[in-house]
Structure 1
Amino acid sequence: MAVYLVNMIMVYLWSSFAAFYGRRDDTIQSGWRPNKILVLFPFLFLCIVAGIRYKVGTDFVTYGQMYEFSVNYEKPWHIFGFGVDKAATDPGFTFILWMLNQLSHDPQIMYISVGAITYFFIIKTLIQYGRPFELSMLLFLGTFHYYASFNGMRQYMVAAILFYAIRLVINGQWKLYFPLVLVCSLFHSSALIMIPVYFIVRTKSWSWMMLVLCMIFLGLTALYDRFVSVFVVMLQGSSYGHYEEWLTTNTNGMNVTKIGVLILPLLLAFFYRKRLRELTPESDYVVNFCLLGFLFGILATKDVIYARFHIYFGLYQLILLPYFTRIFDQRSNVFIYVGIAVCYILYSIMLMPFDSSVLPYRTIFTK
């Protein structure tokens, strides 16, 4: 845990330096651009800790096997189904692994490279939309998204790219956003959910449409057992019948504590919705993304598989939470800033011992 705490301190300190030595820039939504050189330091700390880990994360071994298997494709176009009977699952990601294999057969290069891509796009987004920047960076670790990115690496990479594409959603540039989603679906097919999401988030927050959506998700959660029973009957006799046992016996759901953490910012966003819109009109989009994250979190209490969809929405908390340090008087803003920082640091420390298998932390140098 000591490594993670040191990493958190260094990321926060260097992000603070980057913000302090930044400059005003009205061309970006935050209005303040952190120093380009100093931003490299927190980026490097994030990449190093994630990149040199060894057997840290529940999916570590699985991704290592995927990396080794990718070399079995003789030609890169075979990955996409050209010249062979069947394309690879998520061929875009397999292609990256195949390319990396040309450089090294050691899967460690994959953990470093994928982590670097993921954190690059997240930091780029926070530079444009996160203010205070250093608080957004701290929350990346405090909300546990950084540690969770050790698992589901390809999905977090896709989520980071689509997180950066929030400007396309805000500007209504669907002709660019939809093709990007389609490309991202080659890396993780679940990215396709972001096409209908585009239309949902481009509505006013707390609208009737969002209320109806909340009722649907709450209804599915309350009637989940009945819903699964009907679904299992439909699967019987089909090629997907082998999922029947898993659906009826799996009881692994998202921790209820996480649901509480997800709903608190939304409650504040609801009560201060007018002030948020005065601060930034784009807050409606951010709130809607966070609300969808909460709804998938509610559904994930029944089965943790739905938490995979939450990955696409949870990152928007890194933009929403810092809003609350700017909507009151100066003294109150300082109090809220400190409160958010302390609470989320404690929250991440609380999760570390039992979430995502991030402890004990081992490196390639201490196998």
Structure 2
Amino acid sequence: MSIYMFNLLFVYFWSWLSSFYGKKDISLPIGYRPNNLMVYISIVSLVLVSGLRYGVGTDYWTYSLLYNIAGIRDLGDIIGWGESETASDSDVGFIVFLWVLNKITDNPQLMFLITALITNILIVRTLRDYVKPFELGIFLYICTFNYYSTFNGVRQYLVAAVIFWSFRYLITGNWKKYFTIIILSSTFHASALIMIPVYFIVRRKAWTSFTFVLTLCFVLAAMLYNKFISLLMFLIKNTQYGHYEEWFTNNSNGMNIIKIFVLLIPLVISYLYRNKIREIWPDGDYVVNLCIINFLFGLLATRDFIFARFSIYFGLYQLLLIPIFTRLFDKKTNTLIYFILAVCFFVYSYMLLPVDSNVLPYKSIFSK
């Protein structure tokens, strides 16, 4: 755990310095730009801890195997030019990506390093542009467990990072760029296509009757879970996800209820201070709506953890929402809230580290 603690302290320190030595920038929604050099020093630590890990994460060996398989395949078969039965890969973009990396080296560690680099740069750059105080956003990135979750579901988090960076096009209504990015991202993970209908759902005022109707639908789906799953299986039976039928019918492993409260409490605060949040950030309603969807998928995940996979696309928006709470009141109260948030999420992360996502014990390529 010592490497994770060092990483947290190192990243927070340099993020704090980047905020301290930042400058006014009215082109950004927060009106302030942290110091870029110090931002990238923070990124270096995040990338190295993630990218140089060895055997860490539940999916580590699965991705290593996938990397090796991609390296021995023919490019024509991967993208459908050949006659191989394996030419029907739905996530062909990711397989081509691995194939290209194999031309550099057959060591899968390169994949983990490159994906860590892209994922963390895109997430941190987005936090830099939309979060104030920036260092709190970075602290939450680690202590909400989003950072550690990137060690698993590598390609889906890579896609989620790209879409998270594309948030700038969602709030400006530039649907052409947003949809183009989503469609390209879906070649890495087809589930990214869910963000196309989400675009129309979240680009509206939060806490309207639509919000409560949507919430009711998810609550009913959770309560009438077996009927909901039967309908879902009918809809996806002829897709690449059809093989999940046995999983849904036999698995009963749900999300920890503590995680649900972590998703719910910020939404309660957002509702109580919704008008103040709109004053601080007029586009904040879009963020709140994305966090609501995250919570709703969390509700379904209490019945089956696989629904938490969809939360990968929405959980990052909590990092944009929660820091706003430190700007709602007077300076003294805001400082107290900052401290409370830091302590609570640090304890939350500390509790999860030993039991979640196989991130302990940490081993690097130098200590394997």
> Which whole-Å CA distance do the structure 1 matches of 2:300 and 2:159 have between them?
22
Offset, 1:124? 1.0
> Which whole-Å CA distance do the structure 1 matches of 2:198 and 2:330 have between them?
35
Stretches of structure 1 lacking an aligned partner (at least 5 in a row): none
> Which whole-Å CA distance do the structure 2 matches of 1:92 and 1:213 have between them?
33
> Which whole-Å CA distance do the structure 2 matches of 1:236 and 1:50 have between them?
36
Other structure's SS at 1:99 match: helix
Alignment-derived partner of residue 6 in structure 1: 6
Alignment-derived partner of residue 296 in structure 2: 295
Residues 1:42 and 2:42 are matched in the alignment: yes
Other structure's SS at 1:84 match: coil
> Which whole-Å CA distance do the structure 2 matches of 1:188 and 1:233 have between them?
21
> Which whole-Å CA distance do the structure 2 matches of 1:349 and 1:325 have between them?
23
Alignment-derived partner of residue 335 in structure 1: 336
> Which whole-Å CA distance do the structure 1 matches of 2:227 and 2:56 have between them?
37
Residues 1:80 and 2:79 are matched in the alignment: yes
Offset, 1:168? 0.6
Offset, 1:225? 2.4
With the length of structure 2 as denominator, give the TM-score of the two structures. Answer: 0.96
Query: Where does 1:153-164 land on structure 2 (aligned, <5 Å)?
Result: 153-164=154-165
Other structure's SS at 1:294 match: helix
> Which whole-Å CA distance do the structure 2 matches of 1:335 and 1:38 have between them?
26
Offset, 1:229? 4.9
C-alpha change, 1:67 and 1:234, in structure 2 (3 Å) is: closer
Backbone CA RMSD of aligned residues: 1.9
Tell me which amino acid in the other structure corresponds to 1:127. R
Query: Where does 1:1-367 land on structure 2 (aligned, <5 Å)?
Result: 1-75=1-75, 77-85=76-84, 86-229=87-230, 243-367=244-368
> Which whole-Å CA distance do the structure 1 matches of 2:27 and 2:240 have between them?
53
> Which whole-Å CA distance do the structure 2 matches of 1:6 and 1:320 have between them?
26
Deviations 1:115-150 (A, max 9, x none): 100001001101110110000000000100000110
> Which whole-Å CA distance do the structure 1 matches of 2:255 and 2:41 have between them?
33
Offset, 1:278? 0.7
Deviations 1:82-103 (A, max 9, x none): 2335232311111111111111
Q: Is the 8 A contact 1:235 1:244 kept in 2?
A: no
C-alpha change, 1:318 and 1:239, in structure 2 (3 Å) is: closer
Offset, 1:246? 2.4
Stretches of structure 2 lacking an aligned partner (at least 5 in a row): none
C-alpha change, 1:175 and 1:240, in structure 2 (3 Å) is: closer
> Which whole-Å CA distance do the structure 2 matches of 1:155 and 1:99 have between them?
19
C-alpha change, 1:241 and 1:346, in structure 2 (3 Å) is: closer
> Which whole-Å CA distance do the structure 2 matches of 1:9 and 1:238 have between them?
45
C-alpha change, 1:276 and 1:235, in structure 2 (3 Å) is: closer
Q: Percent identity?
A: 48
Q: Is the 8 A contact 1:169 1:198 kept in 2?
A: yes
C-alpha change, 1:222 and 1:43, in structure 2 (3 Å) is: same
C-alpha change, 1:241 and 1:93, in structure 2 (3 Å) is: closer
Tell me which amino acid in the other structure corresponds to 1:300. A
Offset, 1:180? 1.0
Q: Is the 8 A contact 2:130 2:320 kept in 1?
A: yes
C-alpha change, 1:328 and 1:243, in structure 2 (3 Å) is: closer
Tell me which amino acid in the other structure corresponds to 2:83. V
Q: Is the 8 A contact 1:30 1:127 kept in 2?
A: no
Number of paired residues?
A: 366
> Which whole-Å CA distance do the structure 2 matches of 1:190 and 1:293 have between them?
15
> Which whole-Å CA distance do the structure 2 matches of 1:235 and 1:332 have between them?
49
C-alpha change, 1:100 and 1:279, in structure 2 (3 Å) is: same
